[in-house]
Structure 1
Amino acid sequence: MKKYVVAKISKNIPRSLVLLIDLSIVAVNFIFSYFILNEFSSDLDLMKPFIQLPYVIVITLISFITLGSYKGVIRHTGLRDTISIYSSVSLLALLLLIANYIIIKFDYSPIYVLTISNIIVLFLLNTIALITSRFLFKFVFKSLLKRSLDTVNVIVYGAGELGTIVYSTLEKENTQRSKVRCFIDDDPRKRGNKIDRIDIHSNAHVDKEYVESREIKEVIIAIKNLSQAKLLEISDKFLAMGLKVKMVPPVANWVGSDLQLNQIKEINIEDLLNRTPIQIENPLIEKEVSGKVILVTGAAGSIGSEIVRQLTNYKCKEVVLVDQAESCLYDVEQDLKRKQKTNLTCYVSDVRDKGMMNKIFMTHQPNIVFHAAAYKHVPLMEANPYEAVKINIGGTKIIADFSCKYNVDKFVMVSTDKAVNPTNVMGATKRVAEMYIGSKNKIGNCTKFITTRFGNVLGSNGSVIPLFKRQIAEGGPITLTHPDITRYFMTIPEACQLVIEAGSMGCGGEIFIFDMGKSVRIMDLAKRMIKLSGLEYPSDIDIKITGLRPGEKLYEELLNDGENTLPTHHNKIMISKSEDFDYEEKIKCIEFLIKENNPEDFLSVVSNIKKIVPEFISNNSIFENLDKK
């Protein structure tokens, strides 16, 4: 019923009706002006004003139609509408003065001549009455609309300029009735003051009792340049009270420079990872990729597809996409075509297919290769080391070898922090791939081989956050392998910025890593996600400890034993200085591993990996016995 009422009163009044009402107001004002000028005398002769009225209405119609003062949406009347009405009333007075001059000069009917006093009084009455009528209607409309809507009591955290903008946005919104009960501000000079009769309190003053007594449901954070630590503090406090926590987006993201209610979004878990997002602005990237042919393997995956999207923002000659996942590759292609990205060529193919890879390299002659094709799921690769070797090592070798054969300028490989002192097959195979391209860089004489290494990527396929969201939606429990497990996190765009940046600044042989801030305790992450869902731990959603999976670490590292770092021009990016080894001998061992990769003898496969990566010590795995031997 309330939705029906809102729909009924939300319809715009026809412009013709607005014009008719305005003309009626002018007509009444014109008659009333005679009463004012004659001091409300009872002997007033009304014959003359009624004869003049049609003449005045015609001139009024001309002035209002000329300036269109009746076209504004009355329920949204603001300063511009007020100026429009004032201009129309002024034009009416001017036209009446001009008409007076013409009538007198050419000796037309003198009965239509209005006195200067009459025109001035009419001007004042029209200005007051027309503007007042607009705002009166607006007030009535707002009152009726708000009665038809459910009220949501909110707190605005921030009493500065951004906080007042949020308040104004909530007040003028017609689809939701949000009542601001108070402002919170950390500036002691603002506490005790009011904004439009609404109190400004300190954070400490607003406790659970305050929230419950005023039935507050939401907190909107309206602070510019808010630190991650402060955001975490605010959200933890109010989420614990059962409130929804929302954030105002950066001003640069506002539509048409105005804040809209639908832009104020609920805070998400990515905002609460206690790390500052990394921004890379390097003009050399455009110079590096402009006019070049770029090949991206694994182009349908989370990382590969974002690399492609970012590359298409530059003036690449062509971007070649390779992936064996047909449906996902099709989705990426269609998404880019919708955005008018036409310099694309897609291949449904496996990087282990030498014949097809040779054809792609020979046909397109790429200048830069971004190699993102890999198997990445730790438990699956622990159970399938044969496949891990085939794709993570064998596939990398094929693409790297063709890069040398066809004189590719740069080869950039996407690696993982699980390659550091690996405890599982997946991480170990990625470490072997790092060693192979590092060796190729040393003994080759053309392609520059570069590695990027980073932690867990938020929102990528198989990452922990989508899993937890699904488990919460299903009613729980959330499954966690260990209460003390920690991980580094970064967003997909950040990860891909790193990869593209590495391609522009790398000279060959480097392993680029990010300063990813503090690692995140996954137990804390799970609890925050439960709170963000409006539920309580453990009463609504429990967390079940399942034990570490085969090959899984409690914590991840970004540097191998024997590695140290060198700084770069960006304070968040470092270069790992790898330990030296016999590169030609390492390549022979890797080629032997690929040749002897046996689907019937996993122990032999993993044993050969351990010979190449001596720091590979299996954890919680059937391959632990190989370390004892």
Structure 2
Amino acid sequence: MLKALFDSSRTTKRLISLAYDTLAISCSLYIAICLRLGSLEIPVTERELATLAITIVFTLGAFIRMGMYRAILRYMTPQALNTVFLGSCFSALILAVGSFFTHSFIPRSVPFIYLTIALLLLGGPRLLVHHLVMILNGSHQGKREPVIVYGAGYTGHQLRLALKATNYKVVAFVDDDLARQGSVFANLKVQSPVQLPHIIRKHSATRVLLALGNTPHSRRAQIIKGLEPLGVSVQTAPAIPDLISGRARIEHIRDVDIEDLLGRDPVKANNDLLSACITDKVVMVTGAGGSIGGELCRQIILQSPKRIVLFELNEFSLYQLESELGQILQAKKLDVEIIPLLGSVQREHRVETVMRTFGVQTVYHAAAYKHVPLVEHNIVEGVRNNVYGTWYTAEAAIRAGVESFVLISTDKAVRPTNVMGASKRMAELVLQGLSQRQSNTRFSMVRFGNVLGSSGSVVPLFRQQIKMGGPVTVTHPEIIRYFMTIPEAAELVIQAGAMGTGGDVLVLDMGEPVRIVDLARRMIHLSGLTIKTTGLPDGDIEITYTGLRPGEKLYEELLVGDNVTGTAHDRIMRAEEFCLSWVDTEVLLWELDRACHDYACDRVRELLMRAPTGYATEEALGDAVWLHKTNTAQLRVIK
């Protein structure tokens, strides 16, 4: 019967609440008068009945205005009793005023007694129903999972409130702040992180939720490292800025961000450098729909350019980006013209027409093929897009009078062992040569390593493999990589581009390199799982080594030589590296073009090795088309 009542319509519940409150007000007045007179028999005349009617009508009216009947009891918090208290006080005041005007026989002390009884009769059942609903819901949901909240601050308190209506039950708070330890927080004693092993065993907890607010990444990394050996799943609540902006809700528990594992704190941006090439200018981003290109666009519009030209080959990526940027402009109340254009950077006339038509002043060239194994299997198209796409776009920029041209390069361009890296180094050489040929357009190159969350990043791959039960695949036990978040990389690219003087190779400080296998181990441990090894055959997840992919290096570098100088920014360096004259560069480009036209992949690779790219490899050619053509020709000869 209780369940049927709880599952009834909102209208039915409101009518029941109104009927009950009418009865409760009547009983409260009767009991108050009985207590005052010391007798169950009290005088009742038309005046007393009129006073009761006035009290009921005005009290129910006040309750309706205060929204008491709109509240959902199962989500009612103790703070909601403030409404009951204020309504009861108003009801007692109406009783006193009503009895005065109706000249009823109600002693002056009765309203005070009535207030106490009304609070019990009006508030008590509501709390009782709330707890009954929670018990019923809990019985349907089954046993709630015990979790520990790390952080006894504002975020921790809000997280506990949000989790009350979920399958999680907060059993303990821990905090490394000595001032908070020992205090009672939300009816739970705040304990030291040292006590975590004991707390986990006592409550059989399998999950720790981080409620660290705006704690710096470096401190987060220390906390997470301390949690790794405990064998529990570690997740985190959204950061305060995301909660305030509405991008996330407190109950949106998610896996630990990889930037928290790396412990790299962002450096405050130089606003002058950010705005130098953007504010009140026409900016064009090629490859705007990619990971880096898209983030560049998001940060560019915040610097209030006159207009931004989104140049992208993929239609769906362009559509998504335009929609997202439109929402940002609306939310931030910015006035920036967005021009989404489809096109390839290999069509020089199209690129030049776009630049001239819209008066482009700054170009960020992010269009490129970056996936190493894919470029190894598509050598000609990789070279066409990365080398000639850059050359054609740069020539178009010169003729269109573009002021600043920034190439998004890569650490794989340093002593490359793959075609992708060699093609990006060749693109750098092209821009260095063009800088010697003219001075109207300022060319600069920004070189950095892997970005977290980009297409092809290992982090989402590892996360997916862990959720599927493994194995987690790593190419080599000693492989290391530099990592940086996409927003940080884009922000530094914009600032570095403003520093270029012409032909500069600017290198971003990527911090300390990370062993990929260590990253995989940490992600497994933080999922509350163990690694399956020969010594631990019953472990949860196995790590397997697949071998280096075609063209892949064990170690990535950011500099060819040691000739590097600092800049005005702590995380941006300027590298002085060898380059060709434009005459020599152009000769090489024409030879490379002929080899691409003839689909002579062996000749293409030979020319890339002959150029001062540092490209060296002993691997066999992997271009799928060239291999098929070569094998077919050999079969014909044999026949």
- Equivalent pair of 1:6/1:145 in contact (CA under 8 Å): no
Q: Is 1:203 the counterpart of 2:193 in the alignment?
A: yes
Distance in 2 of aligned mates of 1:102 and 1:315: 67
| Range with greater deviation from structure 2 (228-237 or 20-29) | 228-237
2:398/2:440 contact within 8 Å kept: yes
Equivalent residue for 1:144, pick from 132, 136, 139: 136
1:187 Cα offset (Å): 4.4
Q: Which moved more, 1:74-83 or 1:402-411?
A: 74-83
Q: Deviations over 1:473-492 (max 9, x none)?
A: 56543332211000011222
Structure 2 residue 341 is the aligned partner of structure 1 residue 347 = yes
Query: Which amino acid is 2:31 matched to?
Result: F
Matched, 1:185 2:175: yes
1:214 is matched with which residue: 184, 203, 214?
Answer: 203
Q: Is the 8 A contact 1:549 1:620 kept in 2?
A: no
The question of whether the paired residues in 1 share the 8 Å contact of 2:51 and 2:95 is answered with no
Name the amino acid aligned to 1:549: R
Equivalent residues of 1:354, 1:398 under 8 A apart: yes
Cα deviation for residue 262 of structure 1 reads 1.8
Go from structure 1 to structure 2 and tell me whether the alpha carbon gap of 1:619 and 1:365 turns closer, same or farther (over 3 Å shift): farther
More moved, 606-615 vs 551-560: 606-615
Aligned partner of residue 205 in structure 1, secondary structure? helix
AA aligned to 1:218 is: R
Q: CA deviation at 1:523?
A: 0.8
Change (3 A) 1:201 1:285: closer
Are residues 1:243 and 2:232 paired?
Answer: yes
- Cα distance between partner residues in 1 of 2:4 and 2:505: 63
1:546 aligns to what? Answer: 546
Q: 1:579 aligns with which of 574, 577, 580?
A: 577
Partner Cα distance (1:130, 1:400) in 2: 76
Q: Structure 1, residues 567-604: CA drift from partner, whole Å, max 9, x if none?
A: 32x32x21323135553345334434444433443333
Secondary structure, counterpart of 2:425 in structure 1: helix
Matched, 1:364 2:364: no
Deviation at 1:359, TM superposition (A): 2.4
Q: Check conservation: 1:535, 1:541, Cα contact below 8 A.
A: yes
Matched, 1:153 2:153: no
1:405 aligns with 2:399: yes
* Amino acid paired to 2:550: P
Q: Name the SS of the counterpart of 1:59 in structure 2.
A: helix
Tell me which residue corresponds to 2:44: 47
| CA 1:146–1:277: 2 relative to 1, 3 Å | farther
Distance 1:593 1:346, change over 3 A: farther
Residue equivalent to 1:324: 313
Alignment of 1:22-33 (within 5 A): 22-33=21-32
Cα 1:326/1:246, change in 2 over 3 Å: same
Aligned to 2:625: none
Change (3 A) 1:13 1:343: farther
- Deviations along 1:415-466, one digit per CA (max 9) or x if unpaired, are 0011122222211221121122123224312111121111112222222234
**Aligned partners of 1:128 and 1:295: how far apart in 2?**
68
Aligned-pair CA distance for 1:528: 3.0
1:305 aligned counterpart, secondary structure: helix
Structure 1's 607 and 266: CA in aligned 2 closer, same or farther, altered over 3 A?
Answer: closer
Query: Do residues 263 (structure 1) and 276 (structure 2) align?
Result: no
CA distance in 2, matches of 1:503, 1:359: 24
1:482 aligns with 2:476: yes
C-alpha displacement at 1:408, in angstroms? 0.5
**Which residue is 1:567 aligned to?**
567
* Percent identity of equivalent pairs: 32
CA contact (8 A) 2:284 2:360 kept: yes
Give the number of equivalent residue pairs.
604
In structure 2, give the amino acid aligned to 1:47.
V
Is the alpha carbon distance of 1:57 and 1:140 closer, same or farther for their aligned partners in structure 2, counting shifts above 3 Å? farther
Say if 1:494 and 1:7 are closer, same or farther in 2 by CA, change over 3 A.
farther
1:221–1:311: structure 2 CA closer, same or farther, 3 Å change rule? same
Q: Is the 8 A contact 1:424 1:550 kept in 2?
A: yes
State the alpha-carbon separation in 2 of the partners of residues 5 and 464 from structure 1.
51
Q: 1:415 aligns with which of 405, 409, 420?
A: 409
Task: Report what 2:115 is aligned to.
Answer: 123
155 and 101 in structure 1: CA distance in 2 versus 1, 3 angstrom threshold: closer
Paired residue type of 2:24: I
Counterpart of 1:253 in structure 2 is 242
Residue 626 of structure 1 corresponds to none
How far, CA to CA, are the matches of 2:595 and 2:247 in structure 1?
A: 61
Distance 1:35 1:258, change over 3 A: farther
Structure 2 distance, partners of 1:261, 1:581, is 53
Task: Give the Cα separation in 2 of the matches to 1:521 and 1:7.
Answer: 56
- 8 Å CA contact 1:251–1:257 kept in 2: the answer is no
The secondary structure found in structure 2 opposite 1:529 is: helix
Alignment match, 2:16: 17
User: Which residue number corresponds to residue 618 of structure 1?
Assistant: 617
Q: The residue matched to 1:460 in structure 2 has which SS? A: coil
Q: TM-score, normalised by structure 2?
A: 0.84
Name the amino acid aligned to 1:331. Q
Q: Give 1:38's aligned residue.
A: 37
Q: Once the 2 structures are TM-superposed, how far is the Cα of residue 151 of structure 1 from its aligned partner? A: 1.0
Q: 1:593 to 1:274 in 2, by over 3 A?
A: farther
Superposition CA RMSD, Å:
3.4
Match of 2:601 in 1: 602
**Counterpart code for 2:13:** P
Letter in 2 for 1:558: L
Amino acid at match of 1:154: V
Q: Which of 433, 451, 474 is 1:439 aligned to? A: 433
1:384-533 → structure 2 map (5 Å cutoff): 384-472=378-466, 476-532=470-526
Residue type matched to 1:14 in 2? K
Say which SS state the counterpart of residue 615 (structure 1) adopts.
Answer: coil
1:354-391 deviation digits (Å, cap 9, x = unpaired): 23223222322211111111121222333443333222
1:323 offset after TM fit, Å? 2.5
- 2:233 & 2:310 partners in 1: Cα distance? 42
CA contact (8 A) 1:550 1:619 kept: no
Distance in 2 separating the partners of 1:446 and 1:257: 45
Q: 177-186 or 366-375, which moves further after superposition? A: 177-186
Distance 1:289 1:347 in 2: 19
Aligned counterpart for 1:167 among listed residues 136, 160, 171: 160
Q: Is the 8 A contact 1:552 1:619 kept in 2?
A: no
Match of 2:69 among 62, 68, 71: 71
In 1, distance between residues paired with 2:5 and 2:370? 51
Partner of 2:589: 591
Q: Which amino acid aligns with 2:88?
A: V
Inter-partner Cα distance in structure 1 for 2:5 and 2:147: 22
Structure 1 Cα separation of the partners of residues 179 and 94 of structure 2: 54
1:246/1:384 Cα in 2 relative to 1: closer, same or farther (>3 Å)?
closer
Tell me whether 606-615 or 192-201 shows the greater mean CA deviation: 192-201
The structural deviation recorded for 1:520 is: 1.0
| Offset, 1:319 | 2.2
Q: CA deviation digits over 1:133-179, x for unaligned, max 9?
A: 43343333333333433311111223455444433443xx32x1433
Q: Per the alignment, do residues 283 and 567 of structure 1 end up closer, same or farther by CA in structure 2, a change over 3 Å counting?
A: closer
- The one-letter code sitting in structure 2 at the alignment partner of 1:155 is I
Q: Which runs of 5+ in 1 are unaligned?
A: 104-109, 624-629
In structure 2, the residue matched to 1:223 is: 212
Give 2:586's aligned amino acid.
K
Residue 296 of structure 1 deviates from its aligned partner by 1.5
Contact 1:432-1:590 within 8 A present in 2 as well: no
Deviations 1:164-210 (A, max 9, x none): 4433443xx32x14333333333456556654564444333332x75
CA-to-partner distance for each residue in 1:328-358, whole Å, 9 max, x for gaps? 3333344445666783333332211123223
The answer to whether the Cα contact below 8 Å between 2:34 and 2:42 also exists between their aligned partners in 1 is: no
